C-alpha cells in the first residue's frame, strides 16, 4: 500500500444490500457513463500507472493526450483517489461495489452498539442497583459522550488521518471495549450467573467490576463516536457527484445509510434484548463483540476498492486565521471586489512589480477560508434547533423503557421485554423510508418541482412536528397507565402495546429529521470539513442527551419535596411522567417556531462551477 493519501490506509466497512438492487434497477452499469476531463482540486498527484494522462500544474486539470481521449472519461472528476494516491478509475473503485460493503459494516457495528445500549438502562438498575432517575441520567451521559466523541473523530479525519484510517482505528478501540465489557460481566458483575432477570437479584458489584464496566462502556463510546461521522462521509465519498448517475446514488446513499442503522439494530432489539432481559447478559455482550469484529474484517476486505480524499489539514487553524485577520482589520476600508483577486502565478499581475512574499500567515486568510467559516456559522442556528429534538429522541432509550417496565408486559403467555418495544421504532423507520422514497418523493416532486420532493430543511421541520406529536402521545399513554394502577408497587394493567404509537412516531420523525440532517450538514459543509459536517448530527444527539440530564435533574429538584415524590420518582406509579412528556412537547413547539425562522433566513452554500478559475484564485484579506 503505497500512496500519497493523507497517511496511507488502515480500514473499516459498513451495511445494506437494498441499495444495490435500487441502483441496478435504474442503471444496469452505472459506472459506464462518460465524464468530462478530470480536474483535481488538490493538485500534485500524477497518475503514475496511466501514461496517457498528463498533469497541467497551472490549471490543475487532468487532460487527455492524443494517445487516448476516451480513457480519461473513466476517471472520477471530483478529485477522489485510489489507495495509491492515483486518480480513481470508476470501473475499479467506489460506487455501490464499495458503499454496499460499508453499509453492511455499519449495520454490524450498529448491531453491536445496540446489543449493549438498548438494554443498558435495565442492566444499570438490575445489576448495578441504580434507581430510575440515576439510571436514566447515566444512560444520557453515556449516549451523550458517544456522540460528543464524534467531533474528535471528525477532526482527526478531516485534518490528519483521512476517513479510512480514522474508521479503522476507532473500530479497533470499539472492539476492544466490547471484549472488556464481556469479560468484566462474565467474571465480576453478573453474579450469580443468570441474575439480572426480572425478580432475580444480583450481588452487589465489586469496585473492580464497576471500574471495568465504566472503562469498557466509555471505550465503546469513544470507538463508536469517533467512527460514526467518518463512515457516513466515507460512504458518500464513493460516489462522484460530478457524474449525474452517481450523484443520484449519493443522495440515495444517506437514506440507505439510515436504513442500515435500523436493520443492524433490529436483531439487537428483538433477539439480544430478549435474552438479556432473561439474565443472559454475558451472551448478549459476546454476540455484540463478535458482530463488531466481523464488521472490522469486512471493512478491511474492501480496502483495494475504496475511493479516498486527501486530508486538508487542521481546519481549526484555517478558522482561527479568519478570526485573527478579521479582528486585526475590522476598521480597514473594503476595496472593490475586483481588487481583492490576483491570479496565482510566478509573476505579479501589476506590470513591472515583483511579488512581495506574504507575512505571518496567521494574520492572513484566503477568501475561501472566509467563506468556509461563514458556511459553518450559518449552519449553527439550524444545528442548535435540532438539539431539542434530540432531547425528545433520547427518551426512547431511557424513560420509554422505564415506562414500559411498569406496564403489563405479557401477551398471553409470552413475556415482552420493555426494551424490545424499540423494534416498533425500527419497523417505523424501515416503513417510512420506503414510503418517503416511493410515494412522497414522486408526489412532492411534481407539486414542488424539486426532484428530491422536500428540501432537507423542510424534512427536518416535518421531523420536529412528528417528534412533538410523539411526546403528546407518550403523555396520554402515561395518563392511561396511571389510571389502571392497582397496588402502588405493582405494574399497571395497561398493556405495553399501548407504547407502539409513540415508538412509531419517533421512528417516522427520525426518517425526516436525521436523514435530512445527514444530507444537509454533509452537503452544506465545505469540502475541507465534510466529516465535521456529518459530526454535527451526532453532536446534536450528544447535547440532546446532556440537556435531557439537566431537564430531568431540574424537574426532579423542583417537583420533589419532603411529601412529594416528584414527576420522575423511583416508583413511577407515584409520579407524573406524563407531565414531563407534555413539557417536552411544549419545548418542541417553541423550538419549531425558532427553527422555521432560521430555515427561512438560511442561504445555502454556493460553489464555483468553474473549478479551473477557482483553483487559480489565492486571495488574501
Q: What is the pLDDT of residues 261-301, one digit of tens each?
A: 888 888 888 888 888 888 899 999 999 999 999 999 999 99
Highest average pLDDT, of 98-112, 539-553, 602-616, comes from: 98-112
Q: Given this model, what pLDDT does residue 64 score?
A: 40
307-321, 560-574, 599-613: which is most confident = 560-574
User: How many Cβ atoms are within 10 Å of 201's Cβ, its own excluded?
Assistant: 12
SS3 76: coil
8 Å CB contact between 250 and 204: no
Q: Nearest 5 degrees, angle CA 4-CA 41-CA 320?
A: 90
DSSP, collapsed to helix, strand or coil, labels residue 71 as helix
Residue pair 568/132 in contact by the 8 Å Cβ criterion: yes
Least confident piece of the model among 92-101, 411-420, 595-604: 411-420
Of the candidates 228, 264, 236, which has an alpha carbon nearest to the alpha carbon of residue 104?
264
What is the pLDDT averaged over residues 594-616? 69
Q: Residue 65: what pLDDT?
A: 40
Q: Considering only 73-77, 111-115, 347-351, 400-404, which range has the smallest mean pLDDT?
A: 347-351
Q: What pLDDT is recorded for position 343?
A: 52
Q: How far is CA 157 from CA 7, 161, 164, 312, 527, in A?
A: 11, 5, 8, 9, 12
**Residue 457, Cβ neighbours under 10 Å: how many?**
18
* Average pLDDT of the residues in 96-101: 91
Give dist(CA 419, CA 49) in Å, integer: 54
Ramachandran area for residue 38 (φ above 0: left; ψ -120 to 50: alpha; else beta): beta
pLDDT band, residue 470 (cuts 50/70/90): very high
Q: How far is residue 153's CA from residue 311's CA, in Å, rounded to a whole number? A: 13
- 322 or 92, which is more confident? 92
pLDDT higher than threshold 80 for residue 27: no
Q: Could you tell me the three cell numbers for 139?
A: 444512560
Secondary structure class of 337 (helix, strand, coil): helix
Per-residue pLDDT, 32: 40
Query: Could you tell me the pLDDT band of residue 487, with boundaries at 50, 70 and 90?
Result: confident
Show the DSSP H helices in 238-365 as ranges: 244-267, 273-277, 281-301, 315-328
Percent of the chain scored above 90 by pLDDT?
32
Cβ atoms of residues 4 and 45 within 8 Å: yes
CA 173 – CA 176 distance, rounded (Å): 5
Global confidence as pTM: 0.67
pLDDT band at 508 (very low <50, low <70, confident <90, very high): very high
Question: What digits encode the pLDDT tens for the residues 404-458?
Answer: 989 999 988 888 888 889 889 989 988 988 888 888 888 888 887 777 778 889 9
User: Each residue of 34-76: pLDDT tens digit?
Assistant: 333 433 333 333 333 333 333 333 333 334 443 343 444 588 8
How many helices and strands (H and E) does the chain possess? 19, 5
> What pLDDT does 303 receive?
92
Q: Hey, is 476 helix, strand or coil?
A: helix
Q: Which of 307, 238, 310 is nearest to 6 (CA)?
A: 310
Model confidence at 463, in pLDDT bands (50, 70, 90)?
very high
Rounded to an integer, what distance in angstroms lies between the CA atom of residue 516 and that of residue 461? 9
The helix (run of H) or strand (run of E) holding residue 606 is none
Highest-pLDDT range among 37-41, 353-357, 614-618: 353-357
Task: Look up residue 75 and give its three cell numbers.
Answer: 476517471
pLDDT in tens, 361-420: 555 666 777 777 888 888 889 999 999 999 999 898 888 988 998 999 998 888 888 888
CA distance 287 to 292: 9
220-255 pLDDT tens trace: 999 999 998 889 889 988 998 888 888 888 878 887
What kind and span of H or E run contains 392? helix 367-394
What are the pLDDT digits (tens) for 551-589?
988 998 898 877 788 898 888 888 889 999 999 999 999
b/e code 565-585 from CB counts within 10 Å (16+ = b): bbbbbeebbebbbbbbbbebb
Q: Which three cell numbers stand for residue 606?
A: 454556493
pLDDT value at residue 11: 35
Q: Average model confidence (pLDDT) for the chain? A: 79
**Res. 607 pLDDT band, cuts 50 70 90:** low
What is the gyration radius of the CA atoms in the chain, in angstroms?
26
**Higher-scoring residue by pLDDT: 339, 111:** 111
User: What does the pLDDT read at residue 564?
Assistant: 82
pLDDT at residue 582 in the model: 96
pLDDT at 599 over 70: yes
Residue 596's Cβ-count burial label (10 Å; 0-12, 13-18, 19+) is middle
Polymer length in residues for the chain: 621
Q: What is the DSSP string of 505-529?
A: HHHHHHHHHHHHHHHHHHHHS-GGG
Give residues with Cβ within 8 angstroms of 376, minimum separation 6.
319, 525, 526, 529, 532
What pLDDT is stored for residue 453 in this prediction? 76
Q: Which residue has the cell 451521559?
A: 141
Q: Which three cell numbers stand for residue 278?
A: 432473561
Name the residue among 423, 418, 565 with its Cα closest to residue 491: 418
Closest C-alpha among 431, 555, 564 to residue 503: 431
- How many Cα neighbours within 13 Å face the side chain of 52? 12
In sequence order, which residues have a C-beta less than 8 Å from that of residue 534 and are 6 or more positions away?
150, 154, 228, 229, 230, 232, 233, 518, 521, 522, 525
Closest CA to 95 of 261, 235, 299: 235
What lies within 8 Å, CB to CB, of 439 at 6+ separation is none
| Residue 400 pLDDT | 92
Q: What are the chain's domains?
A: 381-621 (1.20.1250.20)
More confident residue, 412 or 478: 478
Is 33's pLDDT higher than 60? Answer: no
Residues with Cβ < 8 Å from 562, sequence gap 6 or more? none
Amino acid at each position: 500500500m503505497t500512496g500519497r493519501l493523507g497517511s496511507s490506509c488502515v480500514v473499516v466497512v459498513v451495511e445494506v444490500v437494498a441499495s444495490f438492487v435500487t441502483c441496478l434497477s435504474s442503471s444496469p452499469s452505472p459506472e459506464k457513463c462518460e465524464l468530462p476531463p478530470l480536474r483535481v482540486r488538490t493538485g500534485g498527484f500524477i497518475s503514475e500507472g496511466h501514461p496517457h494522462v498528463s498533469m497541467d500544474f497551472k490549471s490543475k486539470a487532468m487532460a487527455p493526450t492524443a494517445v487516448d481521449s476516451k480513457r480519461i472519461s473513466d476517471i472520477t472528476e471530483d478529485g477522489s483517489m485510489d489507495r495509491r494516491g492515483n486518480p480513481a478509475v470508476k470501473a475499479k473503485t467506489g460506487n455501490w461495489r464499495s458503499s454496499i460493503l460499508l453499509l453492511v459494516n455499519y449495520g454490524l457495528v450498529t448491531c453491536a452498539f445496540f446489543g449493549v445500549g438498548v438494554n443498558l438502562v435495565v442492566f444499570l438498575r438490575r445489576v448495578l442497583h441504580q434507581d430510575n432517575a440515576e439510571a436514566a441520567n447515566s444512560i444520557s451521559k453515556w449516549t451523550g459522550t458517544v456522540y460528543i466523541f464524534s467531533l474528535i473523530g471528525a477532526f482527526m479525519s478531516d485534518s490528519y488521518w483521512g476517513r479510512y484510517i480514522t474508521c479503522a482505528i476507532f473500530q479497533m478501540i470499539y472492539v476492544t471495549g466490547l471484549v472488556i465489557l464481556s469479560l468484566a460481566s462474565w467474571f465480576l458483575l453478573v453474579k450469580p450467573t443468570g441474575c439480572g432477570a426480572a425478580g432475580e437479584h444480583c450481588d452487589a458489584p465489586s469496585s473492580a467490576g464497576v471500574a471495568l464496566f465504566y472503562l469498557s462502556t466509555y471505550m465503546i463510546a469513544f470507538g463508536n463516536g469517533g467512527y460514526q461521522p467518518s463512515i457516513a462521509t466515507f460512504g458518500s465519498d464513493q460516489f462522484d457527484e460530478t457524474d449525474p448517475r452517481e450523484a443520484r446514488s449519493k443522495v440515495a446513499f444517506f437514506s440507505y445509510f439510515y436504513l442500515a442503522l435500523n436493520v443492524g439494530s433490529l436483531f439487537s432489539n428483538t433477539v439480544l434484548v430478549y435474552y438479556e432481559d432473561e439474565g443472559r447478559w454475558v451472551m448478549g455482550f459476546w454476540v455484540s463483540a463478535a458482530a463488531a469484529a466481523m464488521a472490522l474484517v469486512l471493512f478491511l476486505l474492501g480496502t483495494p476498492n475504496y475511493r479516498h480524499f486527501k486530508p486538508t489539514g487542521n481546519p481549526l487553524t484555517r478558522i482561527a486565521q479568519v478570526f485573527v485577520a478579521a479582528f486585526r482589520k475590522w476598521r480597514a476600508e473594503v476595496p472593490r471586489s475586483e481588487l481583492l483577486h490576483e491570479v496565482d502565478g510566478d509573476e505579479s499581475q501589476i506590470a513591472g512589480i515583483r511579488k512581495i512574499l506574504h507575512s505571518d500567515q496567521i494574520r492572513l486568510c484566503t477568501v475561501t477560508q472566509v467563506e468556509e467559516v461563514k458556511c459553518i456559522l450559518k449552519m449553527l442556528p439550524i444545528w442548535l434547533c435540532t438539539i431539542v429534538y434530540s432531547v425528545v429522541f433520547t427518551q426512547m432509550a431511557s424513560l420509554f423503557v422505564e415506562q414500559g417496565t411498569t406496564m403489563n408486559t405479557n401477551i398471553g403467555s409470552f413475556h415482552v421485554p420493555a426494551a424490545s418495544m424499540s423494534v416498533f421504532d425500527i419497523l417505523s423507520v424501515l416503513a417510512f423510508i420506503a414510503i418517503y422514497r416511493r410515494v412522497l418523493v414522486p408526489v412532492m416532486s411534481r407539486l414542488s418541482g424539486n426532484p428530491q420532493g422536500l428540501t432537507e430543511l423542510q424534512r427536518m421541520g416535518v421531523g420536529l412536528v412528528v417528534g412533538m406529536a410523539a411526546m403528546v402521545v407518550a403523555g396520554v399513554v402515561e395518563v392511561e397507565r396511571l389510571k389502571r394502577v392497582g397496588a402502588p408497587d405493582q405494574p399497571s394493567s395497561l398493556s405495553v402495546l399501548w407504547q407502539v404509537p409513540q415508538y412509531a412516531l419517533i421512528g417516522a420523525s427520525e426518517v425526516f429529521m436525521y436523514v435530512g440532517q445527514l444530507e444537509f450538514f454533509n452537503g452544506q459543509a465545505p469540502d475541507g470539513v465534510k466529516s465535521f459536517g456529518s459530526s454535527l448530527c451526532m453532536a446534536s444527539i450528544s447535547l440532546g442527551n446532556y440537556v435531557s440530564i439537566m431537564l430531568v435533574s431540574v424537574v426532579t429538584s423542583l417537583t420533589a419535596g419532603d411529601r412529594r415524590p416528584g414527576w420522575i420518582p423511583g416508583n413511577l406509579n407515584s409520579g407524573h411522567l406524563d407531565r414531563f412528556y407534555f413539557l417536552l412537547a411544549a419545548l418542541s413547539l417553541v423550538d419549531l417556531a425558532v427553527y422555521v425562522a432560521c430555515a427561512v433566513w438560511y442561504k445555502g452554500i454556493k460553489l464555483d462551477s468553474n473549478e479551473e478559475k477557482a483553483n487559480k484564485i489565492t486571495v488574501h484579506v
